[in-house]
Each structure stands twice: as structure tokens, then as C-alpha cells.
């Protein structure tokens, strides 16, 4: 057990053009969300700073210039401090997309950890610089404030070796080229939620979690541990996504580089920002938009492409588990789209999946039929809550160690 943590913890998810945040009160046993919001369109003249409380009451909604992440975090911390005493804010927790091979749990941010994350930038060039920018911005304004890094890769740290291999010669592993897996904070929340609601036996069963959103992946989980996942070395692999293609024959990349002489930077933009649902439909990266425009053949094709590959990966992950006890849909699409859930489950009765149309349409938590061999659920994930828990536990452990040394 760790000592309790008094005060509030700010959780930050720093992306390429936005900073999402949530504030948690740590007075109770479980962190309690107080505010949430985002600073959007960073780098543009018409940025937006918006926040609401848990009841949806608007606390701020302003349009202003936000030239960079330093300014964004300075605005955010100043706004938070205006609403509370500085001493009430006891830590900042950060979502960090990649922790490499060494980071198997959340860690207190130190100069050594910052240096290690900078060395990992080549493994996640479009994500880690922005994650680090959030850490640096907080340190510049509040060097006294403890910071905690929670890694999306940590949940998959103990993937079986066969699931970590890429098929390239072994020497490339020395450069960190292996399968890592992502969305780990979401998977951790889902397994904790299953354990809380249904007990250890349920959480230790054979579970597939489908985190379906603008970024999408699935994980096969047994005994609470990841045994296989659809993303690999990068966040490009696996399922089709809003603007990312998912699994793609490497021969296509060679063709574009060699035959079409596409510059590497243009190829990177194509793979991260112009493919997936957006690329196939030519209309939108947003699944809700495509469903609303499904009469357009391009929209219909993009939807079916997504569902086809989701079914394919779901079946493959079931094989990796040796069967399936529970399927959980989460993420913006997974938790909110009955039609996509139904289309993915359609034709997978041989895996034991039987969806109840009424429960699914009614957005109930359990959406499987009473006789379904596999329990099917749909609920929202909460990665920010997981980060707040990590920060609380690390701060409590640190406090315990300091007290032990003081009385030693």
C-alpha cells in the first residue's frame, strides 16, 4: 500500500496540434475527474482553448493564437492555477506513446528519462516530440512540480517473444526494430474495469479488446497480459484507421520509393495523414461522417474495408488465444457505433459471437444475446484516469520511501 496523495493531478495528452487535459481530485480512494478540455489548433492563429466540468458546464471557450506547445501549456497551467492554490496541484501526468524496451511501467520524469525518450524519437517521430514538448513546457513553468510519464507501450512489454519478432534478421533488434504494440493505457483501463465489475476470474480469461477510433487496434489478452496485438513497430500497422492504412504490403512502399521516386517525407505524410478511411473514401476520416454519407459508393466501401479487416484481425487474435471468452468494444467508434459493432460481429458466429440487436442499438454495456458463448460488451475507455492512478501510486510510493529514509 502507498500513502494517499492530497491535492489534484493534471493529466496531459500532448499531440501534434492539440493538448487534451483532465484534472483529477485525489482526495478519495479513486481519482475523481473535476475538469476536462483541450487546447486545439496549436501553431495556428485561430487556436481554441475549451474546458468543461463533469456536468458539462462550460468553464472556458476562447479563440486565440497558440503558436506552440510551450505557450499552450503555459496558458493551461496559468488557467489551472488561477482557479486553485499552486500547492493544490501536486503533479502532472503525461501520456507518452512510446517507452521503448526498457519502460515497462509508469515512471517519474527525470533528466535521465527525458534523455532516454529523446533517443527513442526515431521509433515514434510523429508522436514523441509532442509528448516531450508537454513535459518540457511544464518543467519550464513549474520546475518544482513532479511529472509522471505513462507509456502506451508498457502494457505490451511482456508480449511473447514470437509476437515481438518482425521477420527481419536478428541484428535489427539491436536498433529497437521489433513489435511493441500501442493503446496500452486503454487496454489497462478495460481489464481493470472487467476486474472491478466481474472479478478476477473474468479479467484473467481470454479477452479481445477492440479499441476502435481515429487510431484503432485490437489486443488479445489472457491472464491480464497482452499476448498479441494488431499494431507493431509503429502505429501504422494492423487495422485501417482514420488516416492510416493499417496492414500494407511492404512491396507497395518499395514501389512508391523506387519506381515512383516518392520522397520519404511525402511517403510518411501519405501513410500517417492521407490513407485509411480518408484515403479510400476521399470524403472524411470520421466514421460517423461516412455512415451518414453511406449512399456514396466511396463512403460505403471505406466502411466495409474497415469492418472486413476488423473481422479478419478479430478471428486471428482468437486463434492466438486458443478461444474467446469476452469481446470488449471501446474507443470512439467501438463504444458509440452500434452499426459498426454489428457489422464486425456479423458472420463471426463460428467464434461464439451472438449480438443482441436491441441491446446493441440501446447502447447497453452488455450487447451480446443471453445465449452467446462469448460475452460482448461496449463501454468507453478512460486513459486519463489510468494516468491519474499511475501518478497517484508513484507519488505515494515516493512519499513512503522519503519517510522511511527520514526515520531510518
What's the confidence (pLDDT) of residue 85? 64
CB 291 within 8 A of CB 339: yes
Does residue 171 form part of some domain? no
Cell 440501446 found at? 362
Q: Do 242 and 357 have their domain in common? A: yes
Q: Do 247 and 365 have their domain in common? A: yes
Residue 167's nearest CA partner among 122, 243, 232 is 232
Q: Do 328 and 237 have their domain in common? A: yes
Does residue 64 form part of some domain? yes
The separation between CA 66 and the C-alpha centre of its own chain, rounded to angstroms, equals 24
Using DSSP, how many helices (H) and how many strands (E) does the chain show? 15, 13
Does residue 282 form part of some domain? yes
CB 131 within 8 A of CB 96: yes
Does residue 117 form part of some domain? yes
Does residue 265 form part of some domain? yes
Q: Do 255 and 124 have their domain in common? A: no
Q: Do 240 and 354 have their domain in common? A: yes
* H or E element, residue 310: helix 297-321
Does residue 367 form part of some domain? yes
Nine-digit cell at 95?
A: 501520456
Q: Do 138 and 246 have their domain in common? A: no
Q: Do 147 and 224 have their domain in common? A: no
What CA–CA distance (Å, rounded) separates 136 from 381? 27
What's the confidence (pLDDT) of residue 333? 96
Three-state DSSP state, 243: coil
Q: Do 219 and 357 have their domain in common? A: yes
Q: Which of 3, 152, 204, 393 is catalytic?
A: 152
Q: Do 206 and 354 have their domain in common? A: yes
* 198 counts as catalytic: no
Q: How many domains does the chain have?
A: 2
Domain final residue, candidates 151, 173, 189 = 151
Q: Do 134 and 218 have their domain in common? A: no
Q: Which residues contact 79 (CB under 8 A, 6 or more apart)?
A: 49, 51, 60
Per-residue confidence in pLDDT tens, the chain, 408 aa: 345 678 899 999 988 788 999 999 998 889 999 999 999 988 888 899 999 999 999 999 999 999 988 899 889 989 988 887 655 899 999 999 999 988 889 999 999 999 999 999 988 888 899 899 899 989 988 999 999 999 999 999 999 999 999 999 999 999 899 999 999 999 999 999 999 999 999 999 999 999 999 999 999 999 999 999 999 999 999 999 999 999 999 999 999 999 999 999 999 999 999 999 999 999 999 999 999 999 999 999 999 999 999 999 999 999 999 999 999 999 999 999 999 999 999 999 999 999 999 999 999 999 999 999 999 999 999 999 999 999 999 998 665 444 444 445
What's the confidence (pLDDT) of residue 400? 46
The CB-side HSE value for 403 (13 A sphere, CA atoms) comes to 8
What ranges in 121-160 are assigned the alpha helix state H? 128-141
Cell 492563429 found at? 45
Q: Do 126 and 274 have their domain in common? A: no
Q: Which domain holds residue 37?
A: 8-151
Does residue 168 form part of some domain? no
Q: Which residues contact 202 (CB under 8 A, 6 or more apart)?
A: 194, 195, 325, 326
What CA–CA distance (Å, rounded) separates 56 from 60? 11
Q: Do 146 and 290 have their domain in common? A: no
Which CATH number fits the domain that encloses residue 327?
3.30.420.40
What's the confidence (pLDDT) of residue 4? 60
What's the confidence (pLDDT) of residue 46? 87
Amino acid at each position: 500500500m502507498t500513502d494517499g496523495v492530497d491535492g489534484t493531478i493534471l493529466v496531459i495528452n500532448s499531440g501534434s496540434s492539440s493538448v487534451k487535459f483532465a484534472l483529477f481530485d485525489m482526495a478519495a480512494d479513486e481519482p475523481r475527474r473535476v475538469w476536462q478540455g483541450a487546447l486545439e489548433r496549436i501553431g495556428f492563429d485561430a487556436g481554441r482553448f475549451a474546458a468543461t466540468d463533469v456536468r458539462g458546464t462550460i468553464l472556458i471557450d476562447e479563440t486565440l493564437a497558440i503558436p506552440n506547445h510551450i505557450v499552450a501549456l503555459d496558458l493551461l497551467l496559468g488557467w489551472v492555477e488561477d482557479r486553485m492554490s499552486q500547492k493544490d496541484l501536486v503533479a502532472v501526468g503525461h501520456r507518452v506513446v512510446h517507452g521503448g524496451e526498457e519502460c515497462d511501467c509508469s515512471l517519474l520524469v527525470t533528466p535521465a528519462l527525458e534523455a532516454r525518450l529523446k533517443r527513442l524519437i526515431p521509433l515514434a517521430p510523429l508522436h514523441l516530440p509532442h509528448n516531450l514538448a508537454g513535459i518540457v513546457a511544464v518543467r519550464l513553468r513549474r520546475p518544482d512540480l513532479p511529472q509522471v510519464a505513462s507509456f502506451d507501450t508498457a502494457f505490451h512489454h511482456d508480449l511473447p517473444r514470437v509476437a515481438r519478432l518482425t521477420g527481419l534478421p536478428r541484428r535489427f533488434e539491436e536498433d529497437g526494430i521489433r513489435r511493441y504494440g500501442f493503446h496500452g493505457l486503454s487496454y489497462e483501463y478495460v481489464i481493470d474495469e472487467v476486474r472491478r465489475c466481474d472479478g478476477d476470474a473474468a479479467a484473467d480469461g481470454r479477452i479481445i479488446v477492440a479499441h476502435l477510433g481515429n487510431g484503432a487496434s485490437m489486443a488479445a489478452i489472457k491472464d491480464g497480459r497482452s499476448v498479441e496485438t494488431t499494431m507493431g513497430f509503429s502505429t501504422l500497422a494492423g487495422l485501417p484507421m482514420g488516416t492510416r492504412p493499417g496492414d500494407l504490403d511492404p512491396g507497395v512502399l518499395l514501389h512508391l520509393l523506387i519506381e515512383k521516386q516518392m520522397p520519404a517525407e511525402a511517403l510518411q505524410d501519405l501513410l500517417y495523414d492521407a490513407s485509411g478511411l480518408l484515403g479510400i473514401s476521399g470524403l472524411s476520416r470520421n466514421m460517423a461522417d461516412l455512415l451518414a454519407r453511406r449512399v456514396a459508393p466511396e463512403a460505403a466501401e471505406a466502411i466495409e474495408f474497415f469492418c472486413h479487416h476488423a473481422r479478419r484481425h478479430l478471428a486471428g487474435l482468437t486463434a492466438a488465444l486458443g478461444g474467446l471468452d469476452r469481446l470488449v468494444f471501446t474507443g470512439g467508434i467501438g463504444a458509440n457505433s452500434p452499426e459498426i459493432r454489428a457489422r464486425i460481429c456479423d458472420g463471426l458466429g463460428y467464434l461464439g459471437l451472438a449480438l443482441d440487436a436491441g441491446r446493441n442499438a440501446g447502447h447497453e454495456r452488455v450487447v451480446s444475446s443471453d445465449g452467446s458463448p462469448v460475452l460482448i460488451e461496449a463501454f468507453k475507455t478512460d486513459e486519463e484516469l489510468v494516468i491519474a492512478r499511475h501518478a497517484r501510486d508513484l507519488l505515494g510510493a515516493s512519499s513512503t520511501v522519503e519517510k522511511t529514509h527520514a526515520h531510518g
